[in-house]
Amino acid sequence: MSYDKVEVPEDGEAITLADEETGELDVPENPIIPIIHGDGIGTDVGPAAQQVLDAAAEATGRSIAWMRVYAGASARDKYGENLPEDTVSAIREHRVAIKGPLTTPVGSGFRSLNVALRKTLDAYANVRPTYYLDGVPSPVKAPEKMDMVIFRENTEDVYAGIEWEAGTDEVETVRAFVEDEMGVDDVIHDGPVGIGIKPITEFGSKRLIREAFDYALENDRDSVTLVHKGNIMKFTEAAFRDWGYELAEEEYGDELITEDELWDEHDGDQPEGTVVVKDRIADNMLQQVLTRTDEYDVIATMNLNGDYFSDAAGAQIGGLGIAPGINRGHGRALAEPVHGSAPKYAGEDKVNPTAMILSGREMLDYLGWKDAADLVRDAVEETISSGKVTYDLHRQIDGGEKLATSEFADAIVENIEKLS
């Protein structure tokens, strides 16, 4: 495929799909990987992550041929559009990519480019590993108890973009349908109204929950918790929970047991090789994750819950500067940090690149480069625990050395060289 709006590297080979059914990849030792540095602080954390990932690849006898692709402000500056088709095609063709944050104006302007990218790629599982790194300051007493992997559904829910603005003909058509055709009286107040629709499908729920179950089984995790607000939203959030239990029964047999079965049939003694499936109501879950952190392991939830929950959980292990993520589906992956573009710090060489670097670590793991992925984690941990940190962590610890984004990346690279 040829591209006009992409910086094609001179060398490197394309990653290809080895098995359509499992999504398994054929990964060369010098893969072409598209990268979007992103808006705001993306211009700081993007290059920092690239530098660290290059060092980890080199230390394990490989190389990455970066393909610069553009979205957001950089795409507007260069090509006069927010999301060039070439960017989407390059990511689709090369299968595994990494991006920094992209700015989304609140209320007006264009829709979220992040949501658009995840939807176009149908990267339906947003995976957010939430684990503690030694030396990271935390607002809780025992942050090391946190070791969760959050699977957030990425394509449905109130984020699906089915909504109408107050004052439009469309919203009045929807109001009339709801009131006149569906007989819903006395719910929507008179006057201007904005209306959004919350689709939760069996298909979307089961394919996300299946990813979480498979991950838990492959990685010897103890449990998968389905997080929902089904007590209030019975036909969407409760349906998600019910489809989760149905899937466990239909496809996993004895490998998955419910919490009731754990107690009724096994006296609370979990049989080896099994994963317990449980569910929690979302608001309760937000406090459980603080008070009973180590009872939770793999989480499967819908789009909105997952967005809130992962930021709250991320705060326990050091905040947005730390929390990584990766979007997966159909043998494709787009790694991206949980944080946004923090425009007030843009270009200051100040913010913490750890979240972007650890998102890159998830990407290396997805490529099957476990040695390189572990090296990145160990080098980041080594750097932070030696007191070398960026401003966000520095303000929470006594002593330590406050580093700029680029100096922090240099320190991690030094540790990669030392540890390899």
Q: How far is it, in rounded angstroms, from Cα 295 to Cα 288?
A: 9
Q: Is 41 in the site for ligand NAP (CB under 6 A)?
A: yes
Q: Which residues contact 58 (CB under 8 A, 6 or more apart)?
A: none
Q: Is 141 a catalytic residue?
A: no
79 vs 391, which CB is nearer to ligand NAP? 391
Cβ-contact 23, 330 below 8 angstroms: yes
Per the annotation, does 359 bind a ligand? no
Interacting residue with ligand NAP among 50, 114, 305, 415 (CB under 6 A): 114
Options 183-191, 279-287, 336-344, 375-383: segment touching ligand NAP (CB under 6 A)? 336-344
Per the annotation, does 173 bind a ligand? no
Options 17-25, 142-150, 333-341, 372-380: segment touching ligand NAP (CB under 6 A)? 333-341
Q: Is 150 in the site for ligand NAP (CB under 6 A)?
A: no
Question: Quick one: which H or E segment has residue 97?
Answer: strand 96-99
What three-state secondary structure class fits 379?
Answer: helix
Q: How far is the CB of 395 from ligand NAP (least distance, A)?
A: 8
Sign, Cα dihedral of 397, 403, 408, 410: negative
Q: Is 103 in the site for ligand NAP (CB under 6 A)?
A: yes
Q: Is 131 a catalytic residue?
A: no
Angle at 285 between CA 307 and CA 197, to 5 degrees: 45
DSSP 3-state percent helix, strand, coil across the chain (nearest 5): 45, 15, 40
Q: Is 159 a catalytic residue?
A: yes
Catalytic position from the list 147, 214, 307, 311: 307
Residues 72-101 that bind ligand NAP (CB under 6 A): 101
Options 28-36, 155-163, 207-215, 337-345: segment touching ligand NAP (CB under 6 A)? 337-345
Catalytic position from the list 99, 119, 229, 350: 229
Q: Is 307 a catalytic residue?
A: yes
In this structure, the strands spanning 96-99 and 32-36 are parallel
Name the amino acid, one letter, at 264.
D
Q: How far is the CB of 283 from ligand NAP (least distance, A)?
A: 22
Q: Which residues contact 171 (CB under 8 A, 6 or more apart)?
A: 164, 165, 193, 194, 195
Nearest in space to 145 (alpha carbons), one of 131, 158, 155: 131
Per the annotation, does 221 bind a ligand? no
Catalytic position from the list 70, 124, 132, 159: 159
Residues 307-326 that bind ligand NAP (CB under 6 A): 320-321
Q: Is 258 in the site for ligand NAP (CB under 6 A)?
A: no
Per the annotation, does 68 bind a ligand? no
In this structure, the strands spanning 332-335 and 96-99 are parallel
Nearest in space to 305 (alpha carbons), one of 354, 357, 238: 238
Burial 144-181 (b: 16+ CB within 10 A, else e): ebbebbbbbbbbbbbbbeeebeeeeeebeebeeeeeee
Options 5-13, 74-82, 335-343, 370-378: segment touching ligand NAP (CB under 6 A)? 335-343
Which residues have a catalytic role annotated? 159, 229, 283, 307
Please give the annotated binding residues for D-threo-isocitrate, written as ranges.
112, 114, 118, 128, 152
Q: What are the residues binding ligand NAP (CB under 6 A)? A: 41, 45, 101-104, 114, 320-321, 336, 339-342, 351-352, 355, 392
Please give the annotated binding residues, written as ranges.
103, 112, 114, 118, 128, 152, 307, 339-345, 352, 391, 395
